[in-house]
Amino acid sequence: MRDDIPTPALLLDLGRFEANVTRMATHLRDRGKAFRPHAKTHKCPEIARRLLAAGAVGACTARLSEAEVFADHGIPGLLVTTAVIGAPKIARAVELAARAPDTIFVVETEQNVRELSEAAARVPGVTLNLAVDLYFGRTGVAPGASACDLARFITKQPRVRFAGLQSYDGAAAHTAPFDARRTRTSGSMKQAVETRRLIERDGIECPLVTGGSTGTYRIDSEIEGVTEIQPGSFVFMDMEYAAIGGPDGTEYRDFAQALTVVTTVVSRRPGVAIVDGGYKAFATDRPFTPVPVDLPGVTYAWAGDEHGRLDLSKAERDVRVGDRIEFVPPHCDPTVNLYDVIHALRGDTVEGAWAVAARGKSQ
């Protein structure tokens, strides 16, 4: 049961999670877009399996090590969204492709393509699928002629295959308000689509234009020429996504807050309660703190590695030692990475304890 779970712990409301998955999968299917959710959010093979059952074509991973874990658990259609650089990682990429041949790797330089090609040639039967990563503020090659040149270079190398384009504009996901987000992601994705046209005019097949996010899925899915969307946080949601704003100018409510961190009150004095969730229980990379669920008037403040402080001066109900209090995390992805298990609940019943098998896989 819910109250038997030792704290602090990650809780997943299965009803909300399933509704989130159904909403995203249905929206993209109705618009003819493939669905390759980003597993960097959940790092959990059981969640990846449930997304596949909902129609996903595979899973994105931020790192090669994450992809290795998901391949070990039988998840197909992997897309490693960060370039694999250096001989040791390239050797691992070839080994991964040998057992998961539909895996796609992104590239942005001819040198990396050459090194991947040479490594693949040393292993019989392996051909690597390579997508050109387009630059929109972080990694990749410039859209347009530069990307077209790299695609052409890939087609001339042995044991690699040009798979298409990755068009991920990370900053667009959290651009606010919604109209500004629409302008930014439309501009990025339209550059990607035009790059695809350039490549195809050069006689090269370009079947894949992948990108997008939870914050931009509505917009990206309407753009002709984009083939698939790779959202991640929609399965859980968090305070950061709630703050970006929806089309009506209010809080972003497309998906429900399904993930919480449960803590226990371990100390109490007038106006203050201390819970057993601090820096080690929540990601601390955002300027705001966790928000208590169903505890109006109460605010949280960091109180060290192991503890949080609740200001009860405006609380609408009493809080006592032993009470279990749930919080919406500020940022879901790095919060999940702090835990070994996600407790999946239907009401107060624990239906599963799902391993965060790719936890700590940042290589």
Q: Determine the pLDDT at residue 173.
A: 86
Element (H, E) at 185: helix 178-201
pLDDT grade for 148, boundaries at 50, 70 and 90: very high
Q: What is the mean pLDDT of residues 317-332?
A: 95
Q: What is the C-alpha separation between 89 and 196, in angstroms, rounded? A: 29
Q: Determine the pLDDT at residue 101.
A: 97
Listed in order, strand segments (DSSP E) in the chain are 9-13, 34-35, 59-61, 78-80, 104-107, 128-133, 160-167, 209-211, 228-229, 259-269, 272-275, 291-292, 299-302, 308-311, 324-328, 341-346, 349-355
Q: Which residues of 179-206 are buried (b: 16+ CB within 10 A; e: fewer)?
A: eebbebbbebbbbbbebbebbeeeeeeb
pLDDT grade for 169, boundaries at 50, 70 and 90: confident
Q: What is the C-alpha separation between 110 and 134, in angstroms, rounded? A: 14
pLDDT > 80? residue 249 = no
pLDDT > 80? residue 250 = no
Following DSSP, what letter does each residue of 130-150 receive, concatenated? Answer: EEEEBPSSSSSB-TTHHHHHH
> Cα–chain-centroid distance for residue 280?
21
pLDDT grade for 156, boundaries at 50, 70 and 90: very high
pLDDT > 90? residue 344 = yes
Q: What is the mean pLDDT of residues 110-123?
A: 97
156 Cβ partners below 8 Å, 6+ apart? none
pLDDT > 90? residue 247 = no
All structural domains of the chain with their residue ranges = 2-7+253-355, 15-235
Averaged pLDDT of the chain: 95
Q: What is the C-alpha separation between 290 and 283, in angstroms, rounded? A: 9
Q: Determine the pLDDT at residue 172.
A: 87
More confident residue, 356 or 245: 356
One-letter amino acid of 16: R
For residues 51 and 229, the answer to whether their CB atoms sit within 8 Å is no
Q: Determine the pLDDT at residue 141.
A: 96
pLDDT grade for 40, boundaries at 50, 70 and 90: very high
Q: Determine the pLDDT at residue 240.
A: 87
Q: What is the C-alpha separation between 80 and 58, in angstroms, rounded? A: 11
> Cα–chain-centroid distance for residue 85?
21
For the question of whether the overall pTM of this predicted structure is more than 0.85, the answer is yes
pLDDT grade for 325, boundaries at 50, 70 and 90: very high
Sign, CA torsion 351/352/353/357: negative
Start-to-end C-alpha separation, the chain: 36
Q: What is the mean pLDDT of residues 60-80?
A: 98
Nearest in space to 2 (alpha carbons), one of 336, 268, 295, 260: 260
Question: Does domain 2-7+253-355 correspond to CATH entry 2.30.30.60?
Answer: no
More confident residue, 73 or 250: 73
3-state secondary structure of 328: strand
Q: Determine the pLDDT at residue 268.
A: 96
* CB-CB neighbours of 138 under 10 Å: 11
More confident residue, 19 or 246: 19
Q: Is 53 exposed, middle or buried (0-12, 13-18, 19+ CB in 10 A)?
A: exposed
Q: Determine the pLDDT at residue 242.
A: 84
CATH of domain 15-235: 3.20.20.10
Q: Is 137 exposed, middle or buried (0-12, 13-18, 19+ CB in 10 A)?
A: exposed
Following DSSP, what letter does each residue of 77-141 receive, concatenated? Answer: SEEE-S---SHHHHHHHHHHHHHSTT-EEEE--HHHHHHHHHHHHTSTT--EEEEEEBPSSSSSB
Tell me how far CA of residue 15 lies from CA of 52, 132, 236, 256, 258, in angstroms: 18, 38, 11, 10, 8
Q: What is the mean pLDDT of residues 20-49?
A: 97
Q: What is the C-alpha separation between 172 and 127, in angstroms, rounded? A: 33
> Cα–chain-centroid distance for residue 70?
14
* CB-CB neighbours of 4 under 10 Å: 8
92 Cβ partners below 8 Å, 6+ apart? 64, 68, 84
3-state secondary structure of 180: helix
pLDDT grade for 288, boundaries at 50, 70 and 90: confident
